[in-house]
């Protein structure tokens, strides 16, 4: 029985080197377009919004890509008093 070659060798042998590099260029372009939030594309917008919890104890920055993907980041406690009024 013939031993199975490593996966990287199988991929390299099955795809010519130039085709692999062209494929990787298109993958990189796709990632850049997806993450830039280009507002010139019809129906694709990027929007950054501040969100606060109802109690006002936490603040977040939410980046929305195209209206269907949202990535949130917690804001510093130093910024919270300026962005989120404390619920009374």
What string of DSSP letters covers 20-41?
HHHHHHHHHHHHHHHHHT-TTS
Q: Are residues 45 and 64 in the same domain?
A: yes
Pair 84, 74: CB distance under 8 Å = no
27 and 54 part of one domain: no
Q: Are residues 44 and 76 in the same domain?
A: yes
Indicate whether 49 and 82 sit together in one domain: yes
pTM over 0.85: no
For residue 9, the enclosing domain spans 1-36
CA distance 76 to 88: 21
> In this structure, are 32 and 47 located in the same domain?
no
Residue 73 CA to residue 35 CA, distance in Å, equals 16
Residue 7 shares a structural domain with residue 47: no
Question: Domain tally for the chain?
Answer: 2
pLDDT band at 70; cut points 50, 70, 90 = confident
- Quick one: 44 and 56 in the same domain? yes
Mean pLDDT of the chain: 74
């Amino acid at each position: 029985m013939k031993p199975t070659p490593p996966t990287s060798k199988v991929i390299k042998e099955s795809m010519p080197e130039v085709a692999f590099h062209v494929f990787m260029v298109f993958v990189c372009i796709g990632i850049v377009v997806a993450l830039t939030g280009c507002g010139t594309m019809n129906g694709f917008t990027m929007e950054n919004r501040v969100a606060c919890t109802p109690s006002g104890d936490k603040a977040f920055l939410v980046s929305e890509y195209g209206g269907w993907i949202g990535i949130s980041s917690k804001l510093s406690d130093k910024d919270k008093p300026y962005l989120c009024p404390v619920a009374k």
